[in-house]
Amino acid sequence: MSDWSISNGSLEALKWVGLLLMTGDHVNKYMLHESSPTLYALGRMVMPLFGFVLMAHLARPGARERGVHLRVMGRLAIFALLATPAFVHLVGWWPLNILATLLLATLITWLLEQGGLAARSLAAVAFLIGGAAVEFWWPALLCCLGAWAFVRRPSVRRLLLWVLATVSFFPINGNFAALAALPLIWAAGKVEVPLPRHRWIFYVFYPAHLSLIALWVPPM
């Protein structure tokens, strides 16, 4: 367990799977009025997948020292804003979109890695208050933090905590489909997928596909 790891190519593959599932989920939600239970269930895997991919990059040794967290937060902030008009059109002003969720999770991990009472207190405040404002709320943050803790130091205890964090999606989703992301992630760690990393695909795709869907769907 302690030597568990995942390659860059496998992380990229998980990201592409997440993008595909997200697209199907959004088409089902906004254009098909959630008429497909299958697409809905598959869509519950999206947040755990994206959260894991992001946290795996942030948990790498030396990431904070290289400024990775700050650069990621900057990109997420820009593209969260770009996605906001379409998201508001489709969903409304609250909660903020998934990029804001990932931004908040990144901020919390950055504060936790700073160490010290002040930084950890700010992380707790960000979690408690920020969790009320972002898509998928506190369960999404718990899932991200569970993945981050596990990747940093894999252990059975941390894996169980990550599983419990993923279970917390149940009140939102109405099912346990989010848990299906974990075996997929585990399997991805066992193979080497030869995929190059396309850093900007996720950032650009999110506002772009929401904007296209918004063109076809009347506002809320």
pLDDT band at 197 (very low <50, low <70, confident <90, very high): confident
Q: Within a domain: residue 30?
A: yes
Which long-range contacts does 6-10 make (Cβ < 8 Å, 24+ apart)?
A: 6/56, 6/151, 6/185, 6/188, 6/189, 7/192, 7/193, 8/197, 9/192, 9/193, 9/194, 9/195, 9/196, 10/188, 10/189, 10/191, 10/192, 10/193, 10/195
- At 199 the pLDDT is 84
Look at 87-91, 112-116, 206-210, 216-220 and tell me which has the smallest mean pLDDT. 216-220
Contact 188, 70 (CB under 8 A): no
Tell me: the pLDDT tens digits for 51-108?
Answer: 999 999 999 999 999 999 999 999 999 999 999 999 999 999 999 999 999 999 999 9
pTM over 0.75: yes
75 SS3 class: helix
Residue range of the domain that includes 100: 8-216
User: Does the CA dihedral 102-145-7-191 come out positive or negative?
Assistant: negative
Number of domains composing the chain: 1
Q: Within a domain: residue 2?
A: no
Residue 1 predicted with pLDDT over 80: no
Residues in the chain, total: 220
Q: Within a domain: residue 1?
A: no
Q: Within a domain: residue 3?
A: no
